[in-house]
Amino acid sequence: MWSKWRGKRQLPRTEPGDGSALQPHRPWQMLSRSVFHIELADEDGVARDYAADVRYFSADGTVDFYVDGRQELVSEQPTAFPVPGGVVEVSVGSTGLRRIHLVPDDGGQEHTLTPVRHSAEYWRAVTDHRFPVLSKWIGRVASVILLLGLVLFGPQLLEALTQWEVVGDRFGTYTSPISLPGWANTSLLVAGTAASLERALTLRSHWLIDLKPWWLG
């Protein structure tokens, strides 16, 4: 019921689309654009293709929603688009998609939409299907890297914050017990970026490590 209420609450955020055609997803857009779709039957039993197009570096930060390849709705995210029998919820995090799920009105099982062929999410899903053991270990390593970054950078960030006069005067200063050399910080930065992208491609999110990879900075 919570998911249903949340989706209905977000529906007024949508605006009518201009009817333009959905542009094909290109290989060079793997890290800048995501397109997911699902086929559902309308009230007349006619199968229609519903697609959400997310462009991460667009100026307005909106999500475009298409029906049979034509732009039907546009909305800021997080949002929900109405479809037969439910809504499609879309939420974007700092490194990629957090949610792009079909949420039925009857409270049934949620379903993740299908990524278009040859997108980054598509190839990650192919890897998961063909090499499930390898895929599971990739996911575990990504989580460990982000947790490690949280542990190592957290004290250093706290020390940097307390160096600000307005913070230090009120709460006192803090000296981090951890001080990494430059090469270690750089290596962890690269690994953390890759780990964040990996989790975004599989739509995994946890409030502690995926709220925002603040430590990457």
Q: How many CA atoms lie within 13 Å of 63's alpha carbon, on the beta-carbon side?
A: 27
Radius of gyration of the chain, Cα coordinates, nearest whole angstrom = 21
Residues 45-95: tens digit of each pLDDT: 999 999 999 998 877 778 999 999 999 999 998 899 999 999 999 998 877
Query: Coil, helix or strand for 197?
Result: helix
Closest CA to 60 of 118, 13, 115, 120: 13
pLDDT in the model for residue 114: 96
Sort 203 into a burial class: Cβ within 10 Å, 0-12 / 13-18 / 19+: buried
Q: How far apart (Å, rounded) are the C-alpha atoms in residues 188 and 156?
A: 14
Q: How far apart (Å, rounded) are the C-alpha atoms in residues 103 and 86?
A: 6
Residue 136 banded pLDDT, cuts 50, 70, 90: very high
Q: How far apart (Å, rounded) are the C-alpha atoms in residues 97 and 203?
A: 6
Model pTM? 0.81
Cβ atoms of 104 and 86 closer than 8 Å: yes
Q: How many CA atoms lie within 13 Å of 15's alpha carbon, on the beta-carbon side?
A: 7
Residues 1-42: tens digit of each pLDDT: 445 445 454 555 789 999 999 999 998 999 899 999 999 998
Cβ atoms of 200 and 97 closer than 8 Å: yes
